[in-house]
Amino acid sequence: MAEKGVKVFGMWASPMAIRVEWALRLKGVEYEYVDEDLGNKSEALLRYNPVTKKIPVLVHDGKPIAESTIIVEYIDETSKDGYPLMPVDPYERAQARFWARFAEDKCNAALYPIFVTTGEAQRKVVHEAQQCLKTLETALKGKKFFGGDSVGYLDIIVGWFAHWLPVIEEVSGASVVTDEELPLMKAWFDRFLAVDMIKAALPDRDRLLALNKARREQLVSSA
């Protein structure tokens, strides 16, 4: 018999898994959290996501769903009475999905090289990442959050930047989101992280810093 309830398979330092937790917390949905060791994945994770074998996976009444952006939409659709994540207007919904795709495909790809480079090579990739974030920043113009007056779908998708990017900056010695270069994004970081539901799910900064410091040292020395 299928198990009842909501279960999340994540990993404490994953910026993709936190999206699922943010969505569930904003909706007020209770869930069980399973922290995976990605070097030794559980039999349950491999059974629930045999295709990509990645976290996050949401299991709702025994039925698994993978891919964080899809999971967040699923949570919004199945908890219609709770806090709304997606805009009601179809055009606005399409825009939110467009920017989420842009952030996933372009910004995430532009940010990663900062983590694994140094010196002149890093300066070049920082500039490229800033250009990408400047484009994304246009979606914030005149708004408190990407979702308008309150946190919405797009805030959840790009929200990891606010907590993870300053850690990446510290670990790699790069300066990316500054008041001079990205003033709207920087101000949004502070507003977003001040939201109680968002703050409550964040991983410990020092622990994240130590993990990423070790990862960077390994990646840079093997490059």
Ligand X SMILES: N[C@@H](CCC(=O)N[C@@H](CS)C(=O)NCC(=O)O)C(=O)O
Which single residue is written with the structure tokens 């491999």? 46
Q: What residues does 33 pair with on adjacent strands? A: 8
Q: Spell out, one character per residue from 89 to 128, where the chain touches ligand X: x when CB under 6 A holds, - when not.
A: ----------------------------------------
Longest dimension (CA), the chain: 58
Q: Spell out, one character per residue from 26 to 45, where the chain touches ligand X: x when CB under 6 A holds, - when not.
A: ------------x-------
Q: Which residue lies nearer to ligand X by CB, 16 or 201?
A: 16
Which single residue is written with the structure tokens 């969505």? 23
CA 177 centroid distance within chain = 16
Measured between alpha carbons, how far is 162 from 206 in angstroms, rounded to an integer?
Answer: 15
Q: Spell out, one character per residue from 133 to 172, where the chain touches ligand X: x when CB under 6 A holds, - when not.
A: ----------------------------------------
| 53 near ligand X, judged by CB under 6 A | yes
| 54 near ligand X, judged by CB under 6 A | yes
User: What are the tokens at 160?
Assistant: 């990891």
| 67 near ligand X, judged by CB under 6 A | yes
Measure Cα distances from 144 to 107, 122, 147, 180 in Å.
21, 31, 8, 19
| Smallest distance, ligand X to C-beta of residue 19, A | 7
Measured between alpha carbons, how far is 149 from 186 in angstroms, rounded to an integer?
Answer: 17
**Contact of 19 with 156, CB cutoff 8 Å:** yes
| 55 near ligand X, judged by CB under 6 A | yes
Closest residue to bound ligand X by CB: 54
Scanning 9-17, 26-34, 123-131, 142-150 for contacts with ligand X by CB under 6 A, the matching segment is 9-17
**Count, residues near ligand X per rule CB under 6 A:** 11
| Smallest distance, ligand X to C-beta of residue 196, A | 24
| Smallest distance, ligand X to C-beta of residue 118, A | 24
**Contact of 86 with 73, CB cutoff 8 Å:** yes
User: What are the tokens at 32?
Assistant: 């069980």
- Which residues here bind ligand X, judged by CB under 6 A? 11, 14, 16, 38, 53-56, 67-69
